[in-house]
């Protein structure tokens, strides 16, 4: 029999969660544990959103996105998911930088960065401590006009090399630029500086598998290949959603989809007041990404001492956001996946990531687009050969993803890898004030910064929804 994603679908749920990224899954799990009936509808055939994976011929498994997040992920997973998931989170201890300004290796925490800034970059200890304290004390209510660029100029005037060391990894992590509010940089940077960078041992496929089991245990009705087409609003409240042509009644909906897509497509501008629409229209989408996935032949291993765990590589003379987004790529982050990443798996893989502009790819004719993808692959291999000289001979498989790839599989507007810029946070949080029972847990503002931010925003929204339902 053909697969029917709507088979045995109920006519009513307390909550419908639209989208199965980490934020949507966490919100669904928390609400089900609180005793709510929850439907989780994901348009793709697997859960995870951008925190996902795919398989290719020859037994290759590739994680999508950089495999790094702050130590806080352990506590959040233990509390809102399971001890088994939390106990599988391990530290990446060898983060490397290689560019015309400097080459170094670090554990990427405050202690080691303090050492580097004092000993290698010759910054007075008092200035280093003052910078870290300023970043650590930032919060969502700080002055948004004070930019990241001004923050660096205040503590490290004229030091483009230090800007590169401190800013480049965070730009890859959440799309922040020197022109964005300093708090969008400082809060994320401080999270990493507490104890370094962590990843999930077993790979993203194992993580999502374990999360799927927890969703089942909690009683969430999970439906994949099930796209929500409309959120129905009546008298200022959510009443139902339509998915696969079927209308399902609900008291609340949590959108884990793109913020602007939620407001203007799933709901429709006629249901919002004029001031809110103006505020939403001013929200900027964040940038997208390209990635090149490289799988090595069986038994062809990469020596960890050659490359480390994460390598921020660049040939650009200095850090500039525009260069990071250009199709003329000068900077890449290489994520190295060793057998220890997936115990029992004898393959090595490398994923090269760059930030990118959607329009640089969307406007290309088909033939030029395919040629540009092939150029991306060849250019990436040329870059990687500096660190793994015989990489081409070791390779068994290679494939590229562009902003159009991310748009296709996630339905994110503009193929955005990081949702929206910081102004989207206020709009996201204000949605239930406009329409009762409608919430958003997608990537916005600071909360967009990777896996930990997605999980924590899902928890925040789940608590808001539960409080709303208790009053309804």
Q: What is the pLDDT of residues 416-437, one digit of tens each?
A: 988 899 899 999 999 999 999 9
Q: What is the pLDDT of residues 6-60, one digit of tens each?
A: 889 999 999 999 999 999 999 999 999 999 999 999 999 999 998 999 999 888 9
Q: Which of 250, 357, 346 is nearest to 15 (CA)?
A: 250
Q: Tell which of 193, 213, 232 closes a domain.
A: 193
pLDDT band at 1 (very low <50, low <70, confident <90, very high): low
pLDDT band at 66 (very low <50, low <70, confident <90, very high): low
If you average pLDDT over every residue of the chain, what do you get?
A: 93
Angle between helices 22-33 and 450-471 (to 10 degrees): 40
Do residue 143 and residue 154 come from a single domain?
Answer: yes
pLDDT of residue 210: 97
Do residue 270 and residue 245 come from a single domain?
Answer: yes
The whole-angstrom separation of Cα 461 and Cα 168 is 30
pLDDT of residue 447: 67
% of the chain exceeding 70 in pLDDT: 98
Write a three-state SS string for 291-337.
EEEEEECCCCCCCHHHHCCEEEEECCCCCCHHHHHCCCCCEEEEEEE
What average pLDDT does range 164-189 have in this prediction?
Answer: 89
361 vs 50, 89, 403, CA distance in Å?
A: 19, 35, 7
Do residue 174 and residue 236 come from a single domain?
Answer: no
170 in any annotated domain: yes
Do residue 119 and residue 175 come from a single domain?
Answer: yes
- Per-residue b/e over 107-117, b at no fewer than 16 CB within 10 Å? bbbbebbbebb
267 in any annotated domain: yes
Contact by Cβ (8 Å): 186, 218 = no
Do residue 122 and residue 270 come from a single domain?
Answer: no
CATH of residue 365's domain is: 3.30.519
187 vs 46, 200, 277, 288, CA distance in Å?
A: 31, 22, 28, 21
Q: Where are the beta strands (DSSP E) in 190-316?
A: 197-200, 221-223, 228-234, 237-243, 246-255, 288-296, 310-314
More reliable by pLDDT, 344 or 144: 144
Do residue 162 and residue 125 come from a single domain?
Answer: yes
Residue 448: is its pLDDT beyond 60? no
pTM of the model: 0.94
211 in any annotated domain: no
Residue 343: is its pLDDT beyond 80? no
pLDDT band at 457 (very low <50, low <70, confident <90, very high): very high
104 in any annotated domain: no
What average pLDDT does range 375-385 have in this prediction?
Answer: 97
Do residue 347 and residue 307 come from a single domain?
Answer: yes
pLDDT band at 402 (very low <50, low <70, confident <90, very high): very high
Q: Tell which of 388, 410, 432 closes a domain.
A: 410
pLDDT band at 344 (very low <50, low <70, confident <90, very high): confident
Residue 392: is its pLDDT beyond 80? yes
Residue 104: is its pLDDT beyond 80? yes
CATH of residue 241's domain is: 3.50.50.60
Q: What is the pLDDT of residues 208-237, one digit of tens each?
A: 999 999 999 999 999 999 999 999 999 999
Do residue 326 and residue 397 come from a single domain?
Answer: yes
Do residue 19 and residue 134 come from a single domain?
Answer: no
Do residue 170 and residue 266 come from a single domain?
Answer: no
Rg of the Cα atoms in the chain: 22
More reliable by pLDDT, 365 or 177: 365
117 in any annotated domain: yes
33 in any annotated domain: yes
Classify residue 344 as exposed, middle or buried by CB count within 10 Å of its CB (0-12, 13-18, 19+): exposed
Quote the domain boundaries for residue 236: 12-45+224-284+419-471
Q: What is the pLDDT of residues 112-128, one digit of tens each?
A: 999 999 999 999 999 99
397 in any annotated domain: yes
215 in any annotated domain: no
Q: What is the pLDDT of residues 170-181, one digit of tens each?
A: 888 778 889 989
pLDDT of residue 435: 98
pLDDT of residue 449: 63
Q: Which of 470, 142, 168, 213 is nearest to 311 (CA)?
A: 168
Q: Which of 231, 261, 266, 265 is nearest to 249 (CA)?
A: 231
Do residue 280 and residue 294 come from a single domain?
Answer: no
The whole-angstrom separation of Cα 4 and Cα 100 is 55
pLDDT of residue 174: 78
Token output for 48: 């995870």
Q: Please, how many CA atoms are within 13 Å of residue 274, restricted to the half-sphere of its CB? A: 0
Q: What is the pLDDT of residues 272-328, one digit of tens each?
A: 999 999 999 999 999 999 999 999 998 898 988 889 999 999 999 998 887 777 888
* Domains in the chain, number: 3
Do residue 423 and residue 278 come from a single domain?
Answer: yes
């Amino acid at each position: 029999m053909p697969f029917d994603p709507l088979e045995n679908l109920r006519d009513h749920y307390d909550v419908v969660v639209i989208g199965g990224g980490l934020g949507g899954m966490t919100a669904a799990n928390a609400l089900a544990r609180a005793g709510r009936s929850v439907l989780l509808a994901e348009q793709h055939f697997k859960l995870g959103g951008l925190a996902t994976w795919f398989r290719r011929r020859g037994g290759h498994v590739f994680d999508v996105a950089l495999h790094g997040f702050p130590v806080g992920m352990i506590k959040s997973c233990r509390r809102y998911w399971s001890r088994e998931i939390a106990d599988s989170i391990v530290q990446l201890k060898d983060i490397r930088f290689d560019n015309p300004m400097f080459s170094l290796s670090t554990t990427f925490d405050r202690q080691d960065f303090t050492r580097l800034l004092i000993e290698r970059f010759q910054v007075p200890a008092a200035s280093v401590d003052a910078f870290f304290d300023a970043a650590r004390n930032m919060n969502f209510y700080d002055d948004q006009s004070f930019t990241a660029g001004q923050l660096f100029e205040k503590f490290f005037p004229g030091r483009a090399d230090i800007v590169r060391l401190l800013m480049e990894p965070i730009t890859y992590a959440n799309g922040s630029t020197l022109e964005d509010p300093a708090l969008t940089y400082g809060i994320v940077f401080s999270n990493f500086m507490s104890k370094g960078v962590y990843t999930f041992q077993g790979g993203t496929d194992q993580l999502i598998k374990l999360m799927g089991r927890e969703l089942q245990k909690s009683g969430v009705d999970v439906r994949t290949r099930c796209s929500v087409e409309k959120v129905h609003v009546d008298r200022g409240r959510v009443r139902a959603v339509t998915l696969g042509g079927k209308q399902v009644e609900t008291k609340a909906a949590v959108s884990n989809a793109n913020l602007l897509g939620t407001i203007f497509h799933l709901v429709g501008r006629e249901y919002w007041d004029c001031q809110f629409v103006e505020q939403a229209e001013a929200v900027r989408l964040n940038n997208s990404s390209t990635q090149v996935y490289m799988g090595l032949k069986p038994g062809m291993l990469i020596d960890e001492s050659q490359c480390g765990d994460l390598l921020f590589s660049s040939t650009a003379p200095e850090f500039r956001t525009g260069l990071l987004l250009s199709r003329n790529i000068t900077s890449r982050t290489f994520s190295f996946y060793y057998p220890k990443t997936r115990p029992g798996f004898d393959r090595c893989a490398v994923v090269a990531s760059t930030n990118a502009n959607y329009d640089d790819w969307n406007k290309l004719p088909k033939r030029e687009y395919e040629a540009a993808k092939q150029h991306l692959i060849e250019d990436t291999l040329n870059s990687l050969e500096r660190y793994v000289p015989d990489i081409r001979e070791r390779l068994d498989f290679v494939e590229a993803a562009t902003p159009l790839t991310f748009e296709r599989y996630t339905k994110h507007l503009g193929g955005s890898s990081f949702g929206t810029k910081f102004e989207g946070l206020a709009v996201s949080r204000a949605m239930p004030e406009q329409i009762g029972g409608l919430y958003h847990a997608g990537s916005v503002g600071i909360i967009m910064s990777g896996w930990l931010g997605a999980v924590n925003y899902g928890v925040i929204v789940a608590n808001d929804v539960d409080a709303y339902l208790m009053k309804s």
